[in-house]
């Protein structure tokens, strides 16, 4: 099975900072990569799919890029409401393996 590896596992940044999270697949998955946001105590929400397409209602400060094995989630200007754990997931086929998550905090 394809493994998904995220880095870093956690980060702390200031409001307004540009934040980047990376996700690597152990085999190529084309652009079948999604990002989910899980705020503390809340249900996960789909953020980005097809590596770079924002889900409905997601602010434009979020963006995604990549194809094949290497992917990136970027928050262009970190806001207090972005405090959350972010997960990547490959969805080309079952199993729908998630990365281990990246916890984003405000410095």
Binding residues for another protein (CB under 8 A): 1, 32, 34, 36, 38, 43-46, 49, 55, 85, 87, 89-101
Q: Quick one: 67 or 76, whose CB is closer to another protein?
A: 67
> CB of residue 17 vs another protein: minimum separation in angstroms?
24
- Report d(CA 93, CA 107) in Å as an integer: 38
Q: Quick one: 3 or 77, whose CB is closer to another protein?
A: 3
**Residue 9 CA from chain centroid, whole number:** 12
Task: Tell me what percent of the chain is helix, strand and coil, each rounded to the nearest 5.
Answer: 5, 50, 50
Q: Quick one: 1 or 105, whose CB is closer to another protein?
A: 1
Contact status, residue 73 vs residue 35, Cβ threshold 8 Å: yes
Tokens of 22: 């990376």
> CB of residue 61 vs another protein: minimum separation in angstroms?
21
């Amino acid at each position: 099975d394809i493994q998904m590896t995220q880095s870093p596992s956690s980060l702390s940044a200031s409001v307004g900072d540009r934040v980047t999270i990376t996700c690597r697949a152990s085999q190529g998955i084309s652009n079948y990569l999604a990002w989910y946001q899980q705020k503390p105590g809340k249900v996960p929400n789909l953020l980005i799919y097809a590596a770079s397409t924002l889900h409905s209602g997601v602010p434009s400060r979020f963006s995604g890029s990549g194809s094949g094995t290497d992917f990136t989630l970027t928050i262009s200007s970190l806001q207090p409401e972005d405090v959350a754990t972010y997960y990547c997931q490959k969805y080309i086929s079952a199993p729908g393996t998630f990365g281990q998550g990246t916890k984003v905090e405000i410095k």
